[in-house]
Amino acid sequence: MSYVGPDFDPPQPRRSRRRVLTVALAALVPGALLGWVMYEAVGGDGGSSGNAAVQPSQARSDTAPTDSTTSDDKPPGPTPTTDSTSAPAASGSLKGKVVVIDPGHNPGNFQHTSEINRKVNIGTNWKECDTTGTSTNDGYSEAEFTLDVAHRMRTLLEKQGATVKFTQDGDRSWGPCVDERAEIGNKAQADAVVSIHADGAGAGQRGFHVILPGKVDEGAASTGPIVAPSRALGERIAGSFVRVTGNAPSNYIGDGTGLVTRKDLGGLNLSTVPKVFIECGNMRDSKDAAQLTNGAWRQKAAQGISEGIVSFLRG
């Protein structure tokens, strides 16, 4: 997400071949992540982190949501353990389940710097309301990326019967602030909240990572009840993201697990429902950027995140 400020911010077995494969997949996820650690140790790229805030670029022509996940530019990495073009593994309806998708930043934030720079209470201290986010070197903004992935996720999750709500849909001139983003999920009594981002680290730093809430009990922040379910949500998303996209966990944070715990993010600290962030890749690395700007890959990213949510909600 590369904020300018610090707040950058198994399914139950069934006696069918499909569910057996699903359970086997869940068991293999830690191994898949460990395998990526070995891959990165042998041939991965390294580098130092860095952040950048930019203005939104001209919209890309391939941003329209599509159900197709076929791509000729499959990212490097091990072969997924199951067909990445399949529908979510678990069957049945998510009717009655509420998912809140939080597309990070807002395309209009750069025009409202005074508003987004004002401080809000995140429980432990005060942080900036929001930031502009980062972009690729060619100017494709994080805010454009997060909205596109969010739209694709909504289509997939609504097909499963879930009620999907957004914290913003490009329908407001700036924001919302991080405290309001958390409040939207809380008021919706969401069963799961996922905040979509892309990082702005240094070139050579690649891969995704999922940010989990740490245990915080200070001021307005009391995350104790959501720490365990949020971790379960994050683990399901990380495993599905590896399987569907074929992408490695981050080689610069998370020790190769794709999971990072933080206590300084208002969007997590103020949440009273299970919530995680996902940094889908590094916009400042040319290889990651080539994927993040590709519509077919974004569909895979949306599918990977959505399948993790579905798996979590079905227990």
Write out the chain in H/E/C secondary structure: CCCCCCCCCCCCCCCCHHHHHHHHHHHHHHHHHHHHHHHHHHHCCCCCCCCCCCCCCCCCCCCCCCCCCCCCCCCCCCCCCCCCCCCCCCCCCCCCCEEEEEECCCCCHHHCHHHHHCEEECCCCEEECCCCCCECCCCCEHHHHHHHHHHHHHHHHHHCCCEEEECCCCCCCCCCCHHHHHHHHHHCCCCEEEEEEEECCCCCCCCEEEEEECCCEECCEECHHHHHHHHHHHHHHHHHHHHHHCCCECCCCCCCCCEEEECCCHHHHCCCCCEEEEEEEECCCHHHHHHHCCHHHHHHHHHHHHHHHHHHHHC
Is 309 a domain residue?
yes
Residues paired with 226 in a beta bridge:
none
Residue 281 lies in a domain: yes
State yes or no: is 115 an active-site residue.
no
The pTM for the full model equals 0.74
Nearest alpha-carbon partner for 152 in 296, 293, 299: 299
Q: What pLDDT does 17 receive?
A: 42
Contact 63, 276 (CB under 8 A): no
Single-letter residue type at 161: G
For the stretch 241-282, pLDDT in tens is 999 999 999 999 999 999 999 999 999 999 999 999 999 999
Q: What is the mean pLDDT of residues 220-245?
A: 98
Alpha-carbon gap, residue 31 to 72, rounded angstroms: 26
Q: Which of 128, 144, 279, 307 is labelled catalytic? A: 279
Confirm whether 191 is domain-assigned.
yes
Q: What is the pLDDT of residue 297?
A: 98
Contact 176, 116 (CB under 8 A): no
Top-ranked range on mean pLDDT: pick from 19-28, 76-85, 127-136 = 127-136
Residue 90 inside a domain? The answer is yes
Answer whether residue 50 is part of any domain. Answer: yes
Note down the domain range covering 190. Answer: 21-63+78-314
Instruction: For the chain, report the end-to-end CA distance as a whole number of angstroms.
Output: 29
pLDDT of residue 12: 38
Average pLDDT, the chain: 80
The count of structural domains within the chain is 1
Say what the pLDDT of residue 93 is: 84
Q: Which tens digits make up the pLDDT trace of 286-298?
A: 999 999 999 999 9
CATH code where residue 231 lies: 3.40.630.40
